[in-house]
Amino acid sequence: MTQGPVHLEVAVGYALPRKGIPAATSFRKWVAAALNGRIREADLAIRLVGAREGRALNRHYRGKDYATNVLSFPAELPEGLPKGVTLPLLGDLVLCAPVVAREAKEQGKPLAAHYAHLVVHGCLHLLGWDHEDPREAEAMEQLEREILAGLGLPDPYRED
């Protein structure tokens, strides 16, 4: 049984051939692990894209003209909700499959483990975690290590 939020909806979309990319069930498992104990309800989408779309999104939203491994887009809830009313919308993750595959190969990591790390990393961003300063970065990395260890995956930051 997958642990995680009480209510979890994860839509996984593939904007490129699925060959070599983990199944949607794996992405859901990684999201559930990242959110477990941190949020009660969550609705998010994961989109797997090619280099062209990854680059266009990174350029448009971050001003960086290259494809990156993961982009996190926190949901913007509509204004005017009654006080105390929340929606389970968490946001969207975009993973650039060619970048993820290249990084996994360069770093000597199993592809699925690298995807798991990036999904966990992206989910933490959706929850408000950041790594802009060294203290925040260390706290976020430690949390990522703990979540991934709970999935039976190695420390993604350990250099062999």
Region 115-120: what's the mean pLDDT? 98
Residue 72 pairs with which residues in a beta bridge?
A: 93
State how far the Cα of 117 lies from the Cα of 18, in Å rounded to an integer: 19
Q: Residues 6 or more apart from 58 whose CB is under 8 A from it?
A: 64, 65, 66, 67, 68, 71
Q: Of all residues in the chain, what percent carry a pLDDT higher than 90?
A: 74
Query: Residue 86's pLDDT is what?
Result: 64
Region 135-153: what's the mean pLDDT? 95
pLDDT in tens, 38-56: 888 889 999 999 999 999 9
Query: Residue 1's pLDDT is what?
Result: 42
Fold classification of 7-150 (topology level): Collagenase (Catalytic Domain) (3.40.390)
* Element holding 116 (H helix, E strand): helix 111-126
Indicate the domain borders of the chain.
7-150
pLDDT in tens, 6-23: 688 999 999 999 999 999
State how far the Cα of 139 lies from the Cα of 135, in Å rounded to an integer: 6
pLDDT exceeds cutoff 60 at 27: yes
User: pTM for the full model?
Assistant: 0.90
Lowest mean pLDDT among 13-17, 107-111, 155-159: 155-159
Region 121-134: what's the mean pLDDT? 91
pLDDT exceeds cutoff 60 at 60: yes
